[in-house]
């Protein structure tokens, strides 16, 4: 139903596609400007960095077309409309997640494929095994990012308006477009395990580049599992403390 509503307004639908495409173009332009002055950044050249950009685009695409960054949760809690989802015989978190789907963000996937082709033309072609592992790590990356979105938006059960907090998810993706190898010391630890943006794009891109080891692959699965478990528990905890605004 959400898809039909969005596509019913055709002009707005295509305008949003153009805006999304422009935003993604700024990713590429900015990284090309940087590499116009440098050959390598922490061992990453332009084309390997493009793999990170393409991975970010895929994660953004998955987030928008599956859960819409869960941007509707705060409004539903504030107005009491969440009641209509709670009483349905389907898991509430699933309903909240899929309640909003943005089909116009499919443009992210197609642009990501163009970036992939452009980057792979200039680097060694990855093996089939690397592509399969990459696909698995993208799923892990999505689960990590989805879990972060859930953790942030679950605060809606206690805070009336989190509009200043919810954009943090998108900010994290923007930070993830840079190789996390540029960070050292405690910052690398923070971005690897506390806020694991390294596993959102850098680690998957390393697999396609042939720079990975199995330790990173295993850690990606473990961190995805831990974050999904914690976000699930936190959401259920928040749901138990939900007081309908309509009651």
HEC string for 91-115: CHHHHHHHCCCCHHHHHHHHHHHHH
Mean pLDDT over each residue of the chain, to the nearest integer: 86
> Tell me: the pLDDT tens digits for 118-127?
999 999 889 9
3-state helix, strand, coil in the chain (%, to 5): 75, 0, 25
The residue count for the chain? 247
pLDDT at 1 over 50: no
d(C-alpha 93, C-alpha 147), whole Å: 11
pLDDT score at 8: 57
Q: Which domain holds residue 231?
A: 2-240
Q: Give DSSP secondary structure letters for 166-206.
A: TTHHHHHHHHHTS-GGG--HHHHHIIIIIS-GGGTTHHHHH
> Tell me: the pLDDT tens digits for 191-221?
888 889 989 999 999 999 888 788 999 999 9
Residue 247, domain member (yes or no): no
Residue 96, domain member (yes or no): yes
Residue 245, domain member (yes or no): no
Give the torsion through C-alpha atoms of 205, 228, 70, 100, to 10 deg: 80
Residue 7, domain member (yes or no): yes
d(C-alpha 238, C-alpha 98), whole Å: 19
> Tell me: the pLDDT tens digits for 35-75?
888 888 888 999 999 999 999 999 999 998 888 888 888 88
Structure tokens at 179: 């190789």
> Tell me: the pLDDT tens digits for 2-16?
555 555 556 666 777
Residue 44, domain member (yes or no): yes
> Tell me: the pLDDT tens digits for 95-137?
888 877 777 677 889 889 999 999 999 998 899 999 999 999 9
Q: Are 235 and 154 in contact (CB under 8 A)?
A: yes
Q: Average the pLDDT over 220-234 and give the result.
A: 96
Report DSSP state, residue 9. Answer: S
Residue 171, domain member (yes or no): yes
90 phi-psi bin (left φ>0, alpha ψ -120 to 50, beta other): beta
What whole-number percentage of the chain has pLDDT above 70?
Answer: 91
Query: 234 φ, ψ to 5°?
Result: -65, -40
Residue 181, domain member (yes or no): yes
Contacts of 182 (CB under 8 A, 6+ apart): 41, 42
Number of domains in the chain: 1
* Half-sphere exposure at residue 92, Cβ-oriented, CA atoms within 13 angstroms: 21
């Amino acid at each position: 139903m959400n898809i039909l509503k969005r596509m019913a307004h055709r002009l707005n639908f295509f305008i949003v596609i153009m805006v999304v495409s422009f935003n993604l173009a700024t990713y590429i332009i900015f990284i090309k400007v940087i590499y116009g002055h440098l050959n390598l950044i922490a061992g990453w050249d332009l084309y390997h960095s493009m793999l990170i950009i393409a991975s970010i685009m895929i994660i953004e695409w998955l987030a928008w077309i599956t859960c819409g960054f869960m941007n509707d949760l705060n409004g539903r809690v504030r107005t009491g409309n969440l009641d209509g989802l709670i009483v349905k015989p389907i898991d509430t978190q699933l309903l909240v997640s899929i309640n909003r789907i943005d089909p116009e963000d499919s443009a992210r996937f197609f642009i990501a494929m163009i970036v992939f082709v452009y980057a792979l033309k200039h680097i060694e072609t990855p093996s089939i095994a690397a592509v399969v592992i990459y696909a698995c790590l993208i799923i892990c990356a999505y689960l990590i990012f989805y879990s972060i979105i859930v953790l942030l938006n679950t605060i809606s059960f206690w805070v009336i308006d989190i509009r200043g907090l919810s954009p943090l998810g998108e900010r994290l993706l923007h930070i993830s477009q840079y190789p996390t190898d540029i960070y050292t010391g405690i910052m690398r630890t923070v971005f690897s395990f506390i806020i694991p943006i390294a596993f959102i794009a850098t680690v998957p891109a390393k697999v396609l580049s042939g720079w990975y080891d199995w330790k990173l692959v295993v850690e990606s699965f473990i961190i995805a599992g831990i974050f999904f478990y914690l976000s699930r528990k936190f959401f259920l905890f928040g749901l138990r403390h939900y007081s309908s605004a309509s009651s």
